[in-house]
Structure 1
């Protein structure tokens, strides 16, 4: 994620990092106001989202469900990036929009997608959609051992279905890691046993008992 964040325009660096590490949706990110971000408590409150309608108009509305209204903790690793963004790019005042374009407008998905593809190309990454960052963030959260309820709260889901999918993926990955560790242990044991076998064979011949 940092590779793409480094490659995208500085104005959108925090957008990429928040999508990846917090698992927020595009509309939730674009709907954020300064009052929703508390850097001292390392928290982001999701209270609304910007929806793009088929006629090109946009509307601000509440999340699809009550579960969508949530508070998500911010990883300390990206705090400096968020602080810099609020200082240089966000609108002033508690109601100021966190993410705005260079001309002061709320970013549109199709315009940002062009910037996204350019950033991916510069980072040497292909086939990655912006929404995939949310999946990455949820997978990272699941890999920490978070419970189903904890994942549901962080993801903003009212049912356990999605959380269980991420937990299953995390469990599968954990088994692969365990298998890899097992292989390393087996290789180390073989390497440690080989010299002893060679020495024993040498001793067998030196003392004359080996014929």
Structure 2
């Protein structure tokens, strides 16, 4: 339509509605169809300014289809999770976080309507009901979903912009002494004694220990070969998964002082055959956290160890004990946290620095035994 000087606008048009408000209209740059701005304006000038902004966004390539952002977060998050390549257990965890902690509050909202203030209010309410680690995980997933929505040009800006919301301060976990480790090992049921000792003196995770097979133990050189990790689904199904990175596949030396314990365990408690599990449950089935947890709590109590020590803290203990005299790279390699692993060969680990770390741990064991006997 002509403007006040009788000239037609180069881009779009404005018109007055029956309500008296003004509407801006323009051609969709993608389809060429005529469309209206998302809102109306009190004056003609306001509508023309809005139209100028739309024109500028289109010319800069920053225009986003207003209708695209109308998809509900629940629908988009479901598709987002479905299309991602994830390990089964990770997918299950992410699905659970989305279903329990994101969708009940934000799921019914269109993507384009979710603002930083909405995210902040959602996060604050969540912190009142669940632990901070869960809130951090939920925020990280929501931010990733909205980041993909930006990439898909459904929204212009990620509303997850809360400083520090993607991390939390992990409380310092307790470190056991060598004497406390052996006290717990002596107090636990015999079939789990070696599990406690290896957790502390190799730093392996529970899932890595639970997945060990007989063929993974070199009793001549005192080395474990970590090849996989056991995972458990929410429905109770157990399966072995590959480590998250190449760093997870690694040989780990253990103190030769533990060889008698290893040989005794393999003789009396491990599964049959080279592929038999090193650690099995009380009925001969695969080891589960649930059928081990009570034994750990009882042993911890019997050994006089504080109640806030979790089994996973044995890994932290192993990290700390091994750190004495080890470089950061050597420690990361031992714990399965570094990535440059392709050139690492088994013999290097047996005769190299990791053997020295295990020997230092062995010296700690000998000294503890000597002190106890004196």
Fold shared by both chains (TM-score > 0.5): yes
Report the count of equivalent residues: 159
**Which residue pairs with 2:248 in the alignment?**
68
Q: CA deviation at 1:63?
A: 1.1
CA contact (8 A) 2:329 2:338 kept: no
**Which residue pairs with 1:132 in the alignment?**
313
Deviations 1:98-155 (A, max 9, x none): 0011211111102211110000111011221000000000101102x11111101100
**Which residue pairs with 1:31 in the alignment?**
211
**Which residue pairs with 1:153 in the alignment?**
333
2:323 aligned with 1:142: yes
SS at match of 1:60: strand
Tell me which protein shows more helix as a share of its residues: 1
- Consecutive unaligned residues of structure 2, counting only runs of 5 or more, are 1-180, 340-374
CA distance in 1, matches of 2:329, 2:219: 25
**Which residue pairs with 2:291 in the alignment?**
111
CA distance in 2, matches of 1:39, 1:158: 26
Mapping of 1:34-49 within 5 angstroms?
Answer: 34-49=214-229
CA distance in 2, matches of 1:125, 1:148: 29
SS at match of 1:115: helix
**Which residue pairs with 1:163 in the alignment?**
none
Mapping of 1:95-106 within 5 angstroms?
Answer: 95-106=275-286
CA distance in 2, matches of 1:78, 1:122: 22
Deviations 1:161-202 (A, max 9, x none): xxxxxxxxxxxxxxxxxxxxxxxxxxxxxxxxxxxxxxxxxx
SS at match of 2:251: strand
CA contact (8 A) 2:281 2:291 kept: no
CA distance in 1, matches of 2:269, 2:263: 10
SS at match of 2:225: strand
**Which residue pairs with 1:179 in the alignment?**
none
Mapping of 1:177-192 within 5 angstroms?
Answer: none
CA distance in 1, matches of 2:310, 2:317: 11
- Write out the 4+ residue segments of structure 1 that deviate beyond 6 Å after TM superposition: none
- Consecutive unaligned residues of structure 1, counting only runs of 5 or more, are 160-211
